[in-house]
Amino acid sequence: MLNPNTDTPVWLITGCSKGLGRALAVHVLAQGHRCVVTARDLDSIRELISAHPDHQAAACAVDVTDPDQVARAVRLATDRFGRIDALVNNAGFGYNASVEAGKDKQIRDLFETNFFGLASLTRAVLPVMRAQRSGHIFNVSSISGRVGSPGSAYYAASKFAVEGLSQGLAKEVGPLGIRVTLIEPGPLRTDFQGSSMTSAPDSVDDYAQTVGLRHERLRATHGHQEGSPARAAEIIFRVFQDAAPPLQLLMGKRAIEMADVRLREQFAELNRHRQTSLSVDVDS
């Protein structure tokens, strides 16, 4: 049996107050792994770790946009457990607005959390994983990291940025024994479309059949999303144990359908304009 103080893997998970982050923390701890459980509000996670001994679980208040809190979480993990085997960058929120109606502060706040906060925590953990020559970074993206939709273009842009960062990162750290996986869920039955989503009012009639209809669908399906956070958590745990994990992992039927349509569109467009694209090169 593994010694809980030295051998069991150590996870650092952000955004554990609810949703996927909470489901994953619950599953990781139930499997006997060690975990630093974080959220902006420490009270929201105290109950989650109260049933576990100090040598297995630790709670830390972390706003990923605060560099001091990010550094404190990494120090807690290494001081308490001696290592970090899995980083799960899960903290984030959504923003509903047409591109025209988007508000500058809300857009910047969105990127501060969804992209810059993720990048900050990743940078803080990488020296630990490099020294170990091992580790697995999970960046929670979305199907919106592959497919932009009307009414959530800014959210998609933040996740497209996460996708680009992660793909480059994987090539940098792969030779060092560090793995990277993008988690790309479709709709999960969480509060993401509720309190974790902010919106900008849009009174432009020209967007009623695009932005307006999509926002109506989001409101109508809230609480009835197809995806299970608990099942998603189980899958992430299995991927951590996989010797050859995927770089990009879609989750849910809706995500598969949307990605399939977009990939077919991209391939058809590439072939339709192939000769035009090739003509830019200088003749040899």
What SS3 string covers 203-234? CCHHHHHHHHHHHHHHHHHCCCCCECHHHHHH
In this structure, what token pair is assigned to residue 47?
A: 């109950």
Q: In this structure, is residue 2 part of a structural domain?
A: no
Burial of 282 (0-12, 13-18, 19+ CB in 10 A): exposed
Q: In this structure, is residue 3 part of a structural domain?
A: no
Q: In this structure, is residue 283 part of a structural domain?
A: no
CATH number (domain holding residue 108): 3.40.50.720
Strand-pair partners of 58: 36
Residue whose C-alpha is closest to residue 244's, from 185, 179, 184, 168:
179
Instruction: Report whether 143 contacts 255 (CB < 8 A).
Output: yes
CA distances 48 to 17, 210, 218, 234, 256, Å, are 9, 41, 29, 17, 32
User: Containing H/E element for 130?
Assistant: helix 118-132
Task: Measure the CA angle with vertex 48, ends 86 and 9; round to 5°.
Answer: 25
Q: In this structure, is residue 243 part of a structural domain?
A: yes
Provide the strand spans (E) within the chain.
10-13, 34-39, 57-61, 86-89, 94-96, 135-140, 178-185, 197-199, 248-251
What total of structural domains would you count in the chain? 1
Look at residue 219 in the predicted model and tell me its pLDDT.
67
Tell me the pTM.
Answer: 0.91
Instruction: Report whether 67 contacts 172 (CB < 8 A).
Output: no
Angle between helices 153-173 and 104-111 (to 10 degrees): 20
Q: In this structure, is residue 166 part of a structural domain?
A: yes
**Tokens 């290592």 appear where?**
83
Provide the domain limits for residue 22: 10-278
- Residues labelled catalytic: 141, 155, 159
Q: In this structure, is residue 244 part of a structural domain?
A: yes
Q: In this structure, is residue 284 part of a structural domain?
A: no
CA distances 121 to 37, 43, 150, 180, Å, are 14, 22, 30, 14
Q: In this structure, is residue 1 part of a structural domain?
A: no
- What is the pLDDT tens value at each position of the chain, 284 positions in all? 334 456 899 999 999 999 999 999 999 999 999 999 999 999 999 999 998 999 999 999 999 999 999 999 999 999 999 999 999 999 999 999 999 999 999 999 999 999 999 999 999 999 999 999 999 999 999 999 999 999 999 999 999 999 999 999 999 999 999 999 999 998 776 665 445 445 566 667 899 888 877 777 766 666 556 768 999 999 999 999 999 999 999 999 999 999 999 999 999 999 999 999 999 999 87
Instruction: Report whether 152 contacts 214 (CB < 8 A).
Output: yes
Instruction: Label the pairing between strands 10-13 and 57-61.
Output: unpaired
In this structure, what token pair is assigned to residue 152?
A: 């959530």
